[in-house]
Structure 1
Amino acid sequence: MMLHIPEVLSKVQVQQIRAELDTAAAWQNGQFSAGAQAQKIKQNLQFDLQHPSYVTLSQDILSALKQQALLQSFALPLHILQPMFNCYQNTGTYGNHVDNAVQYCAQVQRPIRTDVSMTLFLSEPEEYQGGELIIEDNYGSHEVKLSAGDAIVYPATSLHRVEPVTAGQRIAAFTWCQSMVKDDWQRSMLFNLDMTILQLRQQLGDTAEVLALTAHYHNLIRQWSQL
């Protein structure tokens, strides 16, 4: 299951982050962070994690993500990795791949399991040609190209790729999270149940039936969470 989260960042916030990225001019060959297999299909740039601007920019993105109620409900995050930044230009692309199952998390100083992938777009669709994020699941291939400030969230187990950027620049932030609920199917059911409860509360208020569903939701989290 995928989720489009609109306006994680305002247009003003996007402009500020883009200006800082442009000023820093700290892009490196993305292959440096790739394994032997990924190096063959990865052609992009990534922002230097050692640059003084990185921590502030990354923290701004992380803070914005943590404030998103939809993300909290969909991903049930236990840990969110410090976001990174990439740039695709000059036919840059990233072929079909699945993200690494484990990444080191500096915040907790230990490896975490990557259950959910997130891409936050920092370029408007009209700023570049190509560059679609293609995500494959049991229902086929899904093409994603969102407005700047919007995010797409999807299971990290998904096969996905970035199509070649034939003109302009596609700049984005990306990260992963370890969920309290490892299983994607269980997370999907919990998200759908949470959204249904929210709609019923708006229509009916906190009736006995709505409270019963809410209790059922939290008890399922108790049953399925891995803490």
Structure 2
Amino acid sequence: MLHSLPDILDANDLQVARKLLADAPWADGKASAGSQAAQVKNNAQLPYDCEASRTISAMVTRGLERSALFLTATLPKKIFTPRINRYSGAANHYGNHIDGAIRTLPDGQRVRTDVSCTVFLSNPEDYEGGELTIADTYGEQRVKLPAGHAVLYPGTSLHQVQPVTRGERLACFFWVESLVRSDEQRRLLFEMDMALMQLRQTHGESAGTTTLTGTYHNLLRMWADT
């Protein structure tokens, strides 16, 4: 299931990010790709330990912590440190691929890629093309969001970034290992949580919402891997 997350980065965050990225030490994105993905990956990427990467990663992490929608949609257990990429000029696309199931952090910790996330750092009018194209059960979805907004989608999805034909597309990307491995189970829990919020807003607390909240947590207890 796809989710759009508004305002993970605010205007001040974006201003800081763009200033840092203007003089950033870009490298070939293939260096971080697996053998299959490297054949279709054609972009630039920042080293994870440079100043721009560290600062933007920290801003994104703080934004995620403020986002109730991110927390309820992903039920995060671990988050792979956010990375930064760029699509422009000759290095302007990433062909169809599925993300590797396991990513390893610099400290050796492994993260299962249950949920993929892209945070857009460029506004749609700043570039042409560059849509994140995701194949899911409802067909092909094309995503191109305002700067500061993010999209979540299952790590199992076949996806690509369409060629950027004008300007540059800057983005932050990362993966989430969820407490609940199954995308279907996460979707059911998310829908139940959203329905409970709506019931509380409309009718306030009641015996019914208390019972349903207990059911939500009992399902989470059944499915979660802590």
Which TM class, normalised by the smaller chain length?
A: over 0.9
Alignment of 1:11-50 (within 5 A): 11-23=11-23, 25-50=24-49
Letter paired with 2:96? N
CA contact (8 A) 2:102 2:110 kept: yes
Provide the residue aligned with 2:128 in structure 1: 129
> In the aligned structure 1, how far is the partner of 2:73 from the partner of 2:137?
19
Does 187-196 or 30-39 show the bigger shift? 30-39
Q: In the TM superposition, what is the alpha-carbon distance from 1:105 to its structure 2 partner? A: 3.2
* Structure 2 residue identity aligned to 1:208: A
Shift of 1:22: 1.2
Match of 1:58 in 2: 57
Equivalents in 2 of 1:78, 1:50: separation in Å? 23
RMSD, aligned α-carbons? 1.2
Q: Secondary structure at the match of 2:31?
A: helix
**Other-structure match for 2:72:** 73
Q: Where do 1:130-209 residues align within 5 Å?
A: 130-209=129-208
Matched, 1:221 2:217: no
**Contact 2:41-2:95 within 8 A present in 1 as well:** yes
SS class of match (2:64): helix
Could you tell me how far apart the structure 2 residues matched to 1:34 and 1:135 are?
A: 18
2:9 corresponds to 1:9: yes
Query: Which letter does structure 2 place at the counterpart of 1:67?
Result: R
Structure 2 spans left out of the alignment, 5+ residues: none
* One-letter amino acid matched to 2:12: V
Partner of residue 103, structure 1: 103
Q: Secondary structure at the match of 2:181?
A: coil
- 1:171, 1:189 → 2: CA distance? 33
Whole-angstrom CA distance in 2 between matches of 1:64 and 1:74? 15
Q: What is the one-letter code of the residue matched to 1:180? A: L
**Once the 2 structures are TM-superposed, how far is the Cα of residue 106 of structure 1 from its aligned partner?**
4.6
Matched position secondary structure for 1:226: coil
Q: Which runs of 5+ in 1 are unaligned?
A: none
* Paired AA for residue 101 in structure 2: A
TM-score by length of 2: 0.96
Distance, in Å, in 2 between the alignment partners of 1:21 and 1:117 is 23
Instruction: Report the Cα distance in structure 1 between the residues aligned to 2:87 and 2:70, rounded to whole angstroms.
Output: 26
Aligned identity (percent) is 44
Q: 1:52 to 1:10 in 2, by over 3 A?
A: closer
1:218 and 1:208 mapped to 2: Cα distance?
16
1:208–1:106 CA distance, 2 compared to 1 (3 A) = farther
